[in-house]
Every structure is written in structure tokens, then in C-alpha cells.
Amino acid sequence: VQLVESGGGLVQAGGSLRLSCAASGFTFDDLAIGWFRQAPGKEREGVSCISSSDYSTYYADSVKGRFTISSDNAKNTVYLQMNSLKPEDTAVYYCAAGLSWVVAGTLTLNTYNYWGQGTQVTVSS
């Protein structure tokens, strides 16, 4: 059971990045995958999630209209396309997996059982 994030980096405000989360060791269709982030000195917060079974999505208000989550079930990979990035988006981004019927389309931390190692996103002003 493994989640591996990639795609983080340094970008100027207004720029874009695409994060990837590759999952292995799961029955992917049973999962919901969520993206969370944690900035220094702040609590981890939910960003977006997607159900691998019906592709339903959910976004935090802070990223609506700027971030898009998608899933390629053939590749067991979930993507987070981040556009119009702001300095306040700077954080370590984590992907997490939980059973889709437990997660139920939410970003509740304790419904996600498996976590990746995180990837740093830094947005300069």
C-alpha cells in the first residue's frame, strides 16, 4: 500500500503546477483520493478529493475555480492541476486515500487511512 506524490516545485504567483499521486497496492476503484496541504505553523487542511468509482469531486472554498482534480484509473493516478497560484498556496501537499464510502466526498482527515510522503509547493510573490 503506497502513495507517491510528485510535481511540486517553485513557481511565481499566477503560475501553474500539476501534482500527481500514484497509488499501488489498492483496489483503486474502491478509493477516494484527497489532496491536503500543510503550511509551516499551520494545521493540515483539505484541498480537494475525488472518488475513483464515480469521479465525483469536492473542493475547499479557497481553491475553487483555480484547482482541478482528476483521476486516471487506468494508471491508478490522481492529478491536481493548480492554476493562478498564490503565495498563500505555499505548503507541503499530501495525497491520501480512503475507502470511498467512508470518505463520502469529504475532506475529513480521519477518514483517510493512507498518506503519501508529501511534495513541497512554493509560490513566490
- Model pLDDT for residues 25-77, shown as the tens digit of each residue: 888 888 999 999 999 999 999 999 999 888 999 999 999 999 999 999 999 99
| pLDDT (mean) for 11-38 | 94
Q: How far apart are CA 22 and CA 89, in angstroms?
A: 22
* Grid cell of 36 as nine digits: 491536503
Q: Residue 91: CB partners within 8 Å, gap ≥ 6?
A: 37, 38, 39, 42, 121
* Grid cell of 118 as nine digits: 508529501
Q: How far apart are CA 29 and CA 55, in angstroms?
A: 10
Q: Are strands 57-59 and 45-51 parallel, antiparallel or unpaired?
A: antiparallel
